[in-house]
Amino acid sequence: DTAVSQTPKYLVTQMGNDKSIKCEQNLGHDTMYWYKQDSKKFLKIMFSYNNKELIINETVPNRFSPKSPDKAHLNLHINSLELGDSAVYFCASSRSMGLAGGEDEQFFGPGTRLTVL
């Protein structure tokens, strides 16, 4: 069974469109994340979501909005897509946020390659 799954694997769309990427984890984890990996291969966290509490990275444009219908799902909705949004987006999960120390390991999904034309 896939621990963290994402759909779709590839997404090609036009500028200005709105799109969503879905993520599901079957690990029973409390915390989920979205990362963006750009063309230079830097992987940067966008959001983390823990038990209905969303923690937003201040550098992420508000065109990006995560939505979590339940603890096992964290979807990423992107409005008014721009060329610069082209990247690979990874979803991840961890048992907890690691705030108490111990820093739980993250499990990553296979990624969604978004291409904006």
Partner 1 sequence: DAKTTQPNSMESNEEEPVHLPCNHSTISGTDYIHWYRQLPSQGPEYVIHGLTSNVNNRMASLAIAEDRKSSTLILHRATLRDAAVYYCILTTGGYQKVTFGIGTKLQVIP
Q: CA-CA distance, 116 to 52, in Å (whole number)? A: 30
Task: Based on the shown chain and the rule CB under 8 A, indicate whether residue 107 belongs to the binding site for partner 1.
Answer: yes
Evaluate whether 22 touches 73 at the Cβ level (below 8 Å): yes
Task: Based on the shown chain and the rule CB under 8 A, indicate whether residue 109 belongs to the binding site for partner 1.
Answer: yes
Task: Based on the shown chain and the rule CB under 8 A, indicate whether residue 52 belongs to the binding site for partner 1.
Answer: no
| Shortest distance in whole angstroms from residue 88 CB to partner 1 | 9
Q: List the one residue from 34, 49, 64, 90 that touches partner 1 (CB under 8 A).
A: 90
Q: List the one residue from 29, 94, 114, 116 that touches partner 1 (CB under 8 A).
A: 94
Q: CA-CA distance, 92 to 35, in Å (whole number)? A: 8
> Which range, of 16-24, 60-68, 76-84, 88-96, touches partner 1 by CB under 8 A?
88-96
Task: Based on the shown chain and the rule CB under 8 A, indicate whether residue 21 belongs to the binding site for partner 1.
Answer: no
Distances (CA, A) of 55 to 31, 50, 68, 106: 11, 8, 12, 16
The phi and psi torsions of 71 (rounded to 5 degrees) equal: -65, -25
